[in-house]
Amino acid sequence: MKFIFLILLLGCFQPAGAADWKVGLGKRKITPSEPIRMGGYAARNRPSDKGADLTDLWVKAISFTDAEGKRSVLVCADIIRFPKFITDSVRRQVQERYGLEKEQIALNGSHTHSGPEVDVNKLKYMATQEELGVVAAFSQRLISQTVEAIGESLARPFDAVISSGSGTCRFAVNRRNNREGDIEKLAELKGPVDHSVPVIRITDKNGDVKAVLFGYACHPTVLSGYEISGDYPAYAQQSIEERFPGAQAMFFIGAAGDQNPLPRRSVLLAIKYGRELALAVETVIKSPMRSLDPSLSVSYNEIGLRFAKPAPGLKELQAIASDTIKNPNWIVSQAKVLADQLSAGKSPGSSYPYPVQIWKLGQLPMVMLGGEIVVEYAWRIKEMLGKEAVVMGYSNDQMSYIPSYKVLKEGGYEGERSAVFTTPWHDETEKDILEEVRRQALLLKLPVHNLPN
């Protein structure tokens, strides 16, 4: 009798959720095997250097199953973007094989500018047919490897405890307000930033760290050469996996549209920033963290994000494409691609199907937005859902920069064009996105605070 009472007593002191979450992990190496055209810098005019890879590239998946059997999968990859055609293909295959719907699948590309291009339309009139073939083959391999990583994560779940916390790292700088060339002599940095480092720790029932999911709001643009690399996020993941042997580290990018690592342009700086970020993550992991209840709720919707003016007609695009003195190569190429689509009867219409996704992981809100959202979105969403809310940009589709109303009115690089390069987004872009975030948050019964006008 005393033995039975002791067992019952000990059961009362088990960590919350210790036996109720199930987590699975999967990963595939996607480092290109041959020189390939790279994404992120339009000035590059040739494929990557052969045999000069600085880091491997990976696609990694983590699956969550709550106490009621509800599932979701998050993918994080060392790539420039997950464009809509890749996301749609991955989701279609995962739905067919594993029965997961759109809202249960989230894909986040780290936005490294030292990895392969994944969309031939970005290079169609700027590269040779052979080079385009290499990019197309890589894109198909990315799709298949992503589906395989997801499958692996679903096939091998283990009992897990999931905890969340947040740290701080300070190398991100608002590039709209601080010129790169002036950075070493500035006495004060200006402009909004988000230096938070959200961390989700997954341990097994023995307390061993099995996975670390972490994010940061900063462009992976330390490097700009022709060497393949995951930039600072890759070095951060390597460092975390060294600190926690056997764990899978996964990086997601936050509201980084107007955030750069400064100073930059050297491998040593990429390593330095990666280690700084890893140390911030380790500090959180080794500090008290909040255990997340084994409950999962998910939502997803695509809203029609409006353009400020009608898309260009065929004559306007032909005029842009023919003026190679005024317009840079990438503008000429985009004009030709859009002209091809119009000639084929594919009009961009008056809006773009913009993805908004929210997960409630235990008590933790996770907001995934498409495109290169500027940092003010993180500020506004945390005002709405609380400072612990995880805000991920570059999720499920990357069609363009997504400016706040302030950035849209100021103009400049992040505010002057939408998914159609000849027009900015509509003035109510920020309002439309935040209203959809609010709608989904209420649907998931998250505590929602009213935003100030």
Please state the pTM of the whole predicted model: 0.94
Q: Which of 437, 440, 297 is nearest to 451 (CA)?
A: 437
* 92-102 pLDDT, tens digit each: 999 999 999 99
Give the model's pLDDT for residue 2.
44
Lowest mean pLDDT among 72-86, 120-134, 174-188, 435-449: 174-188
* 194-212 pLDDT, tens digit each: 999 999 999 999 999 999 9
Residue 179 CA neighbour count, 13 Å, CB half:
3
Give the model's pLDDT for residue 19.
47
Confidence class for position 450, pLDDT limits 50, 70, 90: confident
DSSP state of 435: H
**What percent of the chain lies above the pLDDT cut of 90?**
89
Across the range 74-82, mean pLDDT stands at 98
Question: In whole angstroms, what is the distance from residue 33 CA to residue 129 CA?
Answer: 18
Across the range 303-331, mean pLDDT stands at 93
Q: Which of 301, 401, 399, 314 is nearest to 352 (CA)?
A: 399
Lowest mean pLDDT among 99-103, 297-301, 323-327, 383-387: 323-327
Give the model's pLDDT for residue 77.
98
pLDDT at 3 over 50: no
- Tell me the helices (H) and strands (E) count for the chain, helix number first: 10, 17
pLDDT at 5 over 70: no
Across the range 34-56, mean pLDDT stands at 95
Question: In whole angstroms, what is the distance from residue 418 CA to residue 371 CA?
Answer: 10
Question: In whole angstroms, what is the distance from residue 441 CA to residue 453 CA?
Answer: 19
Q: Which of 406, 403, 439 is nearest to 423 (CA)?
A: 403
What is the residue-averaged pLDDT of the chain?
A: 94
Dig out the tokens for 156 from the structure: 């091998």
Q: Which of 334, 341, 339, 385 is nearest to 359 (CA)?
A: 385
**What percent of the chain lies above the pLDDT cut of 70?**
95
pLDDT at 240 over 50: yes
Q: Is 265 exposed, middle or buried (0-12, 13-18, 19+ CB in 10 A)?
A: middle
Across the range 189-197, mean pLDDT stands at 96
Cα-Cα-Cα-Cα dihedral of 370, 375, 378, 383, to 10°? Answer: -140
> Domain extents for the chain?
296-374+397-443
H or E element that contains 245: none
Give the model's pLDDT for residue 51.
87
pLDDT at 4 over 90: no
Dig out the tokens for 86 from the structure: 């890749």
Whether 439 contacts 385, CB under 8 Å: no
pLDDT at 1 over 50: no
Give the model's pLDDT for residue 451.
66
Length of the chain: 453
Contacts of residue 415, Cβ cutoff 8 Å, sequence gap at least 6: 401, 403, 407, 408, 409, 424
Give the model's pLDDT for residue 453.
59
Contacts of residue 128, Cβ cutoff 8 Å, sequence gap at least 6: none
Give the model's pLDDT for residue 181.
87
Across the range 25-49, mean pLDDT stands at 96
Say which residue the tokens 């260009």 belong to: 312
pLDDT at 11 over 80: no
First to last CA, the chain: 63
* 93-146 pLDDT, tens digit each: 999 999 999 999 999 999 999 999 999 999 999 999 999 999 999 999 999 999
Give the model's pLDDT for residue 452.
57
pLDDT at 82 over 90: yes
Question: In whole angstroms, what is the distance from residue 214 CA to residue 251 CA?
Answer: 5
Judged by DSSP in three states, 345 sits in coil
Judged by DSSP in three states, 244 sits in coil
